[in-house]
Amino acid sequence: MGLTDDVAYVCILFASIGFGKLFRLIPPEVENGVKTFKTRRAVSTVVGLLICCLVSGWHTLHLLVQIAGNAAIVLLMDYRKCHLYSLGWCFSYLTFFRLSGWFGLPSPPPHTNAIILILTLKLVGLAFELHDTAVRAEYSSVSIDAKVDSHTAIEDAKPVFGDVKPSLSGILHYTLGHVGLITGPYYKYSVWEGMYQDQWNPGVSGDGAGWGVCEEAALKRAKNVPYYVVAFLVSGYLFPLSVVETLEWQQDSGLLWKLFYMMPIFFNFRMRIYAGFTLSECACIMAGLGAYPVSSEPKPGQGPSRPENLPVKSGDLGQSLGYSQAESVNFETVHNIDEWGSDFKPSMREALRCWNMTVQHWLVWVVYKRFPVKSLRTTMVMLVSSVWHGVHPGYYLSLGSVPLCLMVEDFYRRLVRSRLSESGKVAYDWVSWFVRMRWFDYLGMGFLLLRVDATLAYWSSVYFMGHLSLPVFYVLGLVVVKPLIDRMWKEREN
């Protein structure tokens, strides 16, 4: 995206944040003593469709086709395979969407690509939620048959957090609702349902007028955004990315300058992402999405990690047993970026976990934990992540190199860090932080230049130092560091 696209992106974010307040003011309907929020759902979907049409025009049809195909899979296919069919369909259509120009269709605008990115995760995630729900129900029915105590059997048959029974209307509202439509973060169908059902949710409990939990949480989350925006604008002005592809800059710039230039370029990228992700979280917070009691220990993308601590619904006007209005809630479920951790965690593995955390959860939940070959799980995650990000070779060149970095990093942590004193570990972590940031700077050029010729041209101009450092570090570890450490360790023991 260019600066014009970024401005439009920010405008949509601020509009979504402001609309979140109005959204929570829409009163619920009550049917048989239960709040339904039908009007609120419909308004959210209409606003979402309006956003799609404004930024995408007729390309909105791409979104509707992908939704329709996945809805047919989820509602009609056998639950044992529907998640795999959904994964195949959504990623196949995502690839077709990006290559639509090859088929004589107009190329979609960047904002439509942003929408279909999140949409793909939501559609596939819904199929996996349905699959997991059916598997739990099947296991529960077998367990109930073996129960002698009827009361225990009834308790085991009750739905648990994460169980879903999607309808066609529910799928449309979930996928086309305005919350996180163009910006993310990823959230599950069960989390979306909670925005209209959970009594502890500020939007359900009536915390709409005045200054409340959502406003306070959004303001607290957004406090650093002005700094990110200023840093993005200043760094982009002083160190523009576009110059690195000019022949004049390539000829006039020395090796040290090219190595240094990667640092402000990646800094500029981080500031842009930090501002966008933080504002997208605020849009979710203002709508009441992802609010859960602190005692349930919510995690990004997942929701409660201790669902047993959630209050039990009584069914009377949505009231919940064991819940007090005084109990605090947080919005960790939609927390998508840990800026401090991304910048200052000492290892690449730890830093990656702080980046796009809701998508990280999706990748772990859908790909990593289910891929049958354990030794290839990390590689498969990076491959799926690359396909999801786009068809540009730069994504594959960058993300495909990450497992190699992790291998070298893990090797040194086992070889050196595990044997150091506490003060030694602190010093090691600072060195590790510096090295992994340089790896990020180097790999980030592929993520930003995108084209294979531009990426390889820049990497070759710095003699592929990022890649060459990996075998150098590994061989030095085996030939020099390991014998030295072993000898010092034996002398220490003696």
- Tell me: the pLDDT tens digits for 215-251? 999 999 999 999 999 999 999 999 999 999 999 998 8
Amino acid at 124: V
Q: Tell me the two tokens of residue 273.
A: 């992402």
Chain-centroid distance, C-alpha 387: 15
Q: What is the largest CA-CA distance in the chain?
A: 82
Distance CA 408, CA 24 (A): 49
Which two tokens mark 120?
């793909």
**Residue-wise pLDDT tens digits, 84-121:** 999 999 999 999 999 988 888 888 888 899 999 999 99
**C-alpha–C-alpha distance, residues 147 and 273, integer Å:** 52
User: What does the angle CA 303 – CA 305 – CA 307 come to, to the nearest 5 degrees?
Assistant: 90
Residue 317's pLDDT is 41
CA dihedral 237, 238, 239, 242 (to 10 degrees): 40
Per-residue pLDDT, 143: 53
User: Radius of gyration of the chain from Cα atoms?
Assistant: 25
Contact status, residue 298 vs residue 330, Cβ threshold 8 Å: yes
- pLDDT by residue for the chain (494 residues), tens digit each? 556 677 888 888 999 999 999 999 999 888 887 888 999 999 999 999 999 999 999 999 999 999 999 999 999 999 889 999 999 999 999 999 999 888 888 888 888 999 999 999 999 999 999 999 999 888 766 654 455 454 443 334 445 677 899 999 999 999 999 999 988 899 999 999 999 999 899 988 876 667 889 999 999 999 999 999 999 999 999 999 999 999 999 889 999 999 999 999 999 999 999 999 999 999 999 999 999 999 999 999 999 999 888 876 544 444 454 455 556 899 999 999 999 999 999 999 999 999 999 999 999 999 999 999 998 898 899 899 989 988 788 888 998 899 999 999 999 999 999 888 899 999 999 999 999 999 999 999 998 998 999 999 999 999 999 999 999 999 999 999 888 888 887 777 76
What are the pLDDT digits (tens) for 426-482? 999 999 999 999 999 999 999 899 899 999 999 999 999 999 999 999 999 999 988
The values of phi and psi at residue 32, to 5°, are 55, 40
Residue 108 CB neighbours (<10 A) = 21
pLDDT score, position 314: 41
Give the burial class of 288: count Cβ atoms within 10 A of its Cβ; 0-12 exposed, 13-18 middle, 19 or more buried.
Answer: buried
Q: Which of 112, 111, 115 is nearest to 2 (CA)?
A: 111
Determine contact, residues 307/292, Cβ cutoff 8 Å. Answer: no
Spatial separation of the C-alpha atoms in residues 65 and 341, rounded to whole Å = 38
What DSSP letter does each residue of 428-483 carry, written as one string? HHHHHHHHHHHHHHHHHHHHHH-SHHHHHHHHHHTTTHHHHHHHHHHHHIIIIIHH
pLDDT above 90 coverage of the chain, percent: 68
Strands in 339-442 per DSSP E: none
